[in-house]
């Protein structure tokens, strides 16, 4: 699957362990697309008690597109669409983001 298969707001699931924090099966929401290299920013569904560990492991805000400690950029082959629903409510989209969503 390529990064073109994903859009902002897509719900995704990790198909492999990512960076030691995001385990296979973990869900999240696409919050940022890096067009220059195909990386996809995902705001992962973490429990509050997991965030301190995630921050220690380097998880971040995906360039201010999600709350600190919940974001991580992934390659398209690391994730799959979780369902067809898109969740735009939790993310502030720019006019450019909306055009390409």
What is the per-residue pLDDT for 85? 47
Q: Structure tokens of 22? A: 């995001």
Which domains are delineated in the chain? 3-100 (2.30.30.30)
Looking at residues 78-95, what average pLDDT do you find? 66
How high is the pLDDT of residue 50?
Answer: 87
Ordered alpha helix ranges (H), 3-94: 48-56
- Alpha carbon separation from 65 to 24, 29, 36, 70 (Å, rounded): 23, 11, 17, 10
pLDDT at 77: 93
Tell how many helices (H) and how many strands (E) occur in the chain. Answer: 2, 5
pLDDT of 65 = 96
Mean pLDDT for 14-36 is 88
Query: pTM here?
Result: 0.77
CA distances to 8, 11, 36, 46, 52 from 79, in Å: 14, 10, 19, 16, 23
Instruction: Find the mean pLDDT for residues 55-82.
Output: 93
């Amino acid at each position: 699957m390529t990064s073109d298969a994903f859009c902002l707001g897509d719900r995704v699931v990790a198909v492999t362990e990512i960076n030691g924090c995001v385990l296979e099966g973990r869900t999240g929401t696409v919050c940022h697309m890096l067009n220059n290299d195909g990386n996809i920013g995902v705001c992962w569904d973490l429990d509050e008690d997991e965030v301190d560990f995630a921050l220690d492991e380097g998880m971040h805000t995906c360039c201010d597109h999600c709350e600190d400690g919940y974001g991580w950029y992934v390659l398209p082959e690391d994730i799959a669409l979780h369902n067809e629903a898109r969740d735009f409510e939790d993310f502030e989209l720019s006019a450019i983001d909306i055009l390409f969503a």
